[in-house]
C-alpha cells in the first residue's frame, strides 16, 4: 500500500470481531484464504486497500479489518444503503464470540509509510 493509494479524504471502514484463542487460527485462515480473496476478486469500485490486524490476549483474540474507500458513496456501493451495519460471512459468524454490529467510518486525514 502506498501513500498515493490512500489519500486524505478517503474513508476507512473499520470493523472488529473477537474469537476464542482456540478458533483464532481458523478464523485467520478464513480471512486470508477466503474472505479477502473474495473481496479482491470482486473488487468493489473505489476500494483502495485493506488491512487485517490480529491482537492476541490470554482469553480471546481480536481481529480488526480496515478497508479504504475513495468516498462514502463507494462504501455504500459495496455495503448497501445500510452501510453502517456489519456484513458477516456465514463461515465467519460461528467462530465469533462477539463483533461490532455497527461498522465505523473514519475520514482519512493523513497517511505516511516509511
Separation between Cα atoms, residue 21 and residue 7, nearest integer Å? 36
Q: How many CB atoms lie within 10 A of CB 11?
A: 21
Q: Classify residue 1: in a domain, yes or no.
A: no
Of residues 1 and 20, more confidence is placed in 20
Residue with cell 480473496: 37
Average pLDDT over residues 70-77: 95
Measured CA to CA, the distance from residue 8 to residue 70 in angstroms comes to: 9
Query: Which residue segment(s) compose the domain that 21 sits in?
Result: 11-107
Instruction: Judge whether 81 lies within some domain.
Output: yes
* Residue 103 belongs to some domain of the structure: yes
β-sheet bridge partners, residue 74: none
Which band of pLDDT confidence, cut at 50, 70 and 90, is reported for residue 5? confident
User: Is residue 41 one of the residues assigned to a domain?
Assistant: yes
Average pLDDT over residues 17-40: 95
42 within a domain of the structure (yes/no): yes
In this prediction the pTM is: 0.91
**Average of per-residue pLDDT across 58-64:** 97
Q: What is the mean pLDDT of residues 66-84?
A: 95
Chain mean pLDDT for the chain: 93
Res 4: pLDDT: 59
CA neighbor of 67 nearest in space, from 45, 89, 82: 45
Mean pLDDT of the 67-91 span: 93
Distance CA(68)–CA(15), nearest Å, equals 12
| Residue 2 included in any domain | no
Residue 75 in any domain: the answer is yes
Q: 84: domain CATH number?
A: 3.30.70.100
Instruction: Give the chain's domain count.
Output: 1
Amino acid at each position: 500500500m502506498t501513500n498515493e493509494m490512500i489519500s486524505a479524504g478517503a474513508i476507512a471502514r473499520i470493523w472488529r470481531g473477537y474469537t476464542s484463542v482456540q478458533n483464532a487460527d481458523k478464523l485467520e485462515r478464513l480471512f486470508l484464504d477466503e474472505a479477502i480473496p473474495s473481496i479482491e476478486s470482486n473488487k468493489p469500485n473505489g476500494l483502495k486497500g485493506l488491512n487485517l490486524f490480529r491482537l492476541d490476549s490470554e482469553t480471546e483474540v481480536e481481529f480488526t479489518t480496515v478497508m479504504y474507500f475513495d468516498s462514502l458513496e463507494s462504501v455504500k456501493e459495496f455495503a448497501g444503503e445500510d452501510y453502517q451495519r456489519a456484513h458477516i460471512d456465514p463461515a465467519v459468524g460461528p467462530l465469533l464470540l462477539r463483533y461490532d454490529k455497527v461498522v465505523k467510518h473514519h475520514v482519512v486525514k493523513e497517511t505516511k509509510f516509511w
